[in-house]
Each structure stands twice: as structure tokens, then as C-alpha cells.
Amino acid sequence: AAFSSLTDRLSSAFRHLRSKGRLTDADIDGTIREIRRALLDADVALEVVRPFTARIRERALGEEVSQALNPAQQVVRIVNEELTTILGAGVDRPLNVAKNPPTVIMLAGLQGAGKTTLAGKLGYWLRDAGHTPILVAADLQRPNAVTQLQVVGERAGVPVYAPQKGVQSDGGEAVASPGMTSGDPVAVARDAVELARTKLYDTVIIDTAGRLGVDEDLMRQARDIRDAVHPDEILFVIDAMIGQDAVRTAEAFDKGVDFTGVVLSKLDGDARGGAALSVASVTGKPILFASTGEGLKDFEVFHPDRMASRILDMGDILTLIEQAQRQFDEEEARKATRKMSEGTFGLDDFMDQLQQVRKLGSMKSLLGMIPGMAQHRRELEQFDEKEIDRTEAIIQSMTPEERRNPDIIDGSRRARIAYGAGTTVSAVNGLLQRFEQAATMMRRMANRGMNGVIPGFGG
């Protein structure tokens, strides 16, 4: 994920500190130097790093640390608080909703930032929450931007308003178009808001054109759309992988369209990501959402405190639980829990659980939310969905009786199963062993009442 190397560096800075009993000023200065270097190497802007480390230094040399029983922990706590501040703790708020619908949300940003993808995610998320959004294609620069938005809308089940004659896109229902606005994004946006008002769509999400670099024409067009529809929210979408240019770009858009909130996109990428961390601090605008993949559900509400603890490898269990709730089938989960506590959890159920895991989609983006996971991240990032395929093939070549009661699977059955699944006996042995471990762990968890432990798999 975007912040993995930053997390590694910060963890190692704190590790040095933890090995000491008392902290001298020199220890603290050394740690702050490491933190500073880690942030700069992660592309966090110097103008953000400088005051950040100064505040940490001031607090760490003060009483709260020197008087503490566990000074190293106090330093971590201070860094956590200051990082939360940088990420916009003082200004964070939920999405603005209009008192009189429709709520108008306009998306701005460079081409490729992830605006169109975000429009779909946002639409899907709003629909899921009981809203009736409509997407508007006001990007008339890029040749297939309109088509792309239509595809996204269809996947999200959200209607799309586009400026072609007799617009046909539907995410369930067709949206009529006056067919007269072709070519003028301002008119398209205005017509769409009017349509939403009469057809009772409660949220209008306007996708606007982006250029490869900031340019004045683009900015003027975005301003014209803004002035025509008075958005409740202007979201500046920024690609976390863009590096040092992030600050300059954010400042240009801030000056150009005076956006109201930020969306960090591509947080799943491998880039250093730190530039994105500078944006809230430099512009003073809240980060409202994070985009973490190409799928519709790879999207989350941004919380500065949760992100800070993720970066510091202190975990983000709240987001993890929310994501899991969105993706897991509760009925399935209840059934599995019951079977676990009854001790009748078989390989068929194991396979159902693997399907649930697969549904979690990009597992990798969830890894950083589990506290202490940074050390294991490398192994886990090698987690391979094909492994689930192989496991399923093995279970599928067992008889129903064998799946219910794996104890009967002896040597000759193992050979038959391996042959049927096109794999080796040792792969079958490995799976049975993992199943046994998982079953034991599940029994223990069921006894403890599912105390928030995530069942492990892979061995």
C-alpha cells in the first residue's frame, strides 16, 4: 500500500527508542531526525515536515515525556496526534448534504487522477445508503470520457446523464436528454441539476474534464460549471502516486476552483504516497474520502485519526470492521459461527468462508488496518488468490462425506484427491493441516465469543 515504506521506517525509528529505558535529549533528537528523513523520503512536502517535526520535538522534550513511566510510548502517542492533525483532524467533517435536494457534488482534478472511477464509487456508496444519485458526464474533452462514465454508472447501478441525443444510459432506468446541450459542459451540468430537481434524484455527481497538467482553460471551465450549478461540495481528486507535484497541483486547484474537500485516490499503489499527506495541511481543506483500488467498493470515508494509526502500524480496526460489514454476508457468518461452536464446521463450510475472503476483494488494502501487521506485510502481500483456487480444487475433489468428516481421509484417499485436483499429495496434506489449525482456532474463538480475532489462513 501507499504508505508501507513510510510505516516501516517509522516503526524502525520507534523500535530504536523502545530499546532504551530513559530517553536523553539526544535519543529524542535522533528519533526526530529519523522521522524527518522517513517523511521526506516518502515525499511529504518540506513545508509540512518542518513544523511537524518542530512540534514533536517541543512536546517530546517537555514534561509529558520526561515525567512518563514509558517515555517511548509517549513519543509514539505525540507523533500519532501530530500526524492526525496534519491529516486534517481540525477540519474533518462528513460529506455536505444540501438542505433542499439535490445535493450537487462536482469532481475536479488532473486527467487520470481517478475522477470518473470515483464518480462510480461515490454513486454506489450513496445508493447503498439509500440515496438516489445521478452521474453527470461533463467531461467533454477526453474522447471516450462519456462512454467510460456510462460503463461505470452501469456497474454501479446508477443512472448517467450525458449530453448525447436521446441518452440511453441506465443503471436501472433511462434518463431523457434534451439532446441540445452537446458540447457545452456548463449547459450539461445545469440541465442535469434541473433534471434531478424534477425527477427527484437527490444527489448529482458531476465528472469534469481534467488535463495532464494544470491549465487555465481547464480551470476556467471548472469555474464556469461551478458558478452555473453552485455545488454543495467541490471535491479535488488527487492521485497519491503523483509525488512532489501534489502540493503545487493542490494549490493550483485551490486557487482555481476553491474546492471544499479532497479525495485521495490510488492509496493502494506502491508509490511513496507522502505527497498526498501534505495536501490537507497545505490547503487547510478536509480529506473526505480515500480510493483504494479499481473496484467499486475500494473506497472508504477518510478519518485522519484512523489513517494516522494505520501509518504508524497501530491498526485501524474500525475501518476494517466497517469494510467487513459491507462485504460479508451476515447470514453466512452466523451460520459459520454456529457450526464452529457446535464443532460441525466442515470443509464445505471452509470453502464458503474462502468465498467470503475472496469477496473482500483487495485483501491487500485491508492488511494495513490490522495492528502490528507491518512486519508481516511482505509475506501477506504475496497472498495470491490463486491459492484460493487451488484450495477449492482440492476440496471439490473430495466426496461429501470426506468434506463433512475430514478425519476419514487416509493415505489412499489423499492420493485420489490429489489426482482429481491435479495436484500433489503434499498439497492435500497442507490443506488438511491448515483446515485443522483453522478449525481449532475457530473452536477457541467460538468459545470466547468471537472476540474480534480474524481467522488466519495460509500456512
Candidates 31, 74, 85, 116; binder of ligand GDP (CB under 6 A) is: 116
Stretch that binds ligand GDP, among 68-76, 104-112, 247-255, 436-444 (CB under 6 A): 104-112
- Cβ 191 vs Cβ 181: under 8 Å: yes
The answer to whether 410 is annotated as binding is no
Joined grid coordinates for residue 211: 488535463
Candidates 11, 80, 111, 244; binder of ligand GDP (CB under 6 A) is: 111
Candidates 265, 278, 309, 423; binder of ligand GDP (CB under 6 A) is: 265
Told to check if 114 binds ligand GDP by CB under 6 A, we report: yes
Stretch that binds ligand GDP, among 107-115, 125-133, 303-311, 320-328 (CB under 6 A): 107-115
What is the number of residues in the chain?
Answer: 459
The answer to whether 114 is annotated as binding is yes
To ligand GDP, the closest distance from the beta carbon of 407 in angstroms equals 44
Nearest to 83 by CA among 54, 52, 110, 113: 52
Judging by DSSP bridges, how do beta strands 299-301 and 287-291 pair with one another? antiparallel
The answer to whether 85 is annotated as binding is no
The answer to whether 265 is annotated as binding is yes
What is the contact mask toward ligand GDP in residues 266 to 305, using x (rule: CB under 6 A)? x-xx---------------------xxxx---x-------
The answer to whether 284 is annotated as binding is no
Closer Cβ to ligand GDP, 116 or 177, answer by number: 116
Q: What stretches of 115-244 show up as alpha helix (H) in DSSP?
A: 115-128, 145-156, 185-199, 216-229
Print burial letters for 70-100: b (CB count within 10 Å at least 16), e (below 16). ebbebbbbbbbebbbbbbbbebbeebeebee
To ligand GDP, the closest distance from the beta carbon of 262 in angstroms equals 14
Candidates 4, 53, 117, 169; binder of ligand GDP (CB under 6 A) is: 117
The answer to whether 165 is annotated as binding is no
For ligand GDP, the binding residues in 193-252 under the rule CB under 6 A are: 210
Told to check if 341 binds ligand GDP by CB under 6 A, we report: no
The answer to whether 267 is annotated as binding is yes
Closer Cβ to ligand GDP, 295 or 430, answer by number: 295
For ligand GDP, the binding residues in 11-40 under the rule CB under 6 A are: none
What is the contact mask toward ligand GDP in residues 436 to 455, using x (rule: CB under 6 A)? --------------------
**Three-state DSSP class for residue 70:** coil
Told to check if 109 binds ligand GDP by CB under 6 A, we report: yes
Report the C-alpha gap between 266 and 271 in whole angstroms.
Answer: 9
Joined grid coordinates for residue 298: 475500494
The answer to whether 266 is annotated as binding is yes
Closer Cβ to ligand GDP, 104 or 263, answer by number: 263
Print burial letters for 349-385: b (CB count within 10 Å at least 16), e (below 16). bbbbbbeebeeebeebbbbbbbeebbeebeeeeeeee
At 291, which helix (H) or strand (E)?
Answer: strand 287-291
Stretch that binds ligand GDP, among 25-33, 111-119, 420-428, 437-445 (CB under 6 A): 111-119
Closer Cβ to ligand GDP, 75 or 267, answer by number: 267
The answer to whether 67 is annotated as binding is no
Report the C-alpha gap between 209 and 256 in whole angstroms.
Answer: 14
Joined grid coordinates for residue 435: 483446515
Closer Cβ to ligand GDP, 268 or 402, answer by number: 268
The answer to whether 112 is annotated as binding is yes
Nearest to 268 by CA among 230, 218, 323: 323
Report in angstroms the alpha-carbon separations of 108 from 124, 248, 303.
Answer: 19, 15, 21
Order of strands, edge to edge, in the sheet holding 261-265? 160-161, 133-138, 203-208, 103-108, 233-239, 261-265, 287-291, 299-301
Closer Cβ to ligand GDP, 31 or 169, answer by number: 169
The answer to whether 209 is annotated as binding is yes
The answer to whether 210 is annotated as binding is yes
Q: How many residues bind ligand GDP (CB under 6 A)?
A: 18
Q: Where are the beta strands (DSSP E) in 73-120?
A: 103-108
Judging by DSSP bridges, how do beta strands 133-138 and 160-161 pair with one another? parallel
Which residues are known binding-site members? 109-116, 207-211, 265-268
Q: Which residues bind ligand GDP (CB under 6 A)?
A: 109, 111-117, 210, 265-266, 268-269, 291-294, 298
Which residues are known binding-site members for GTP? 109-116, 207-211, 265-268
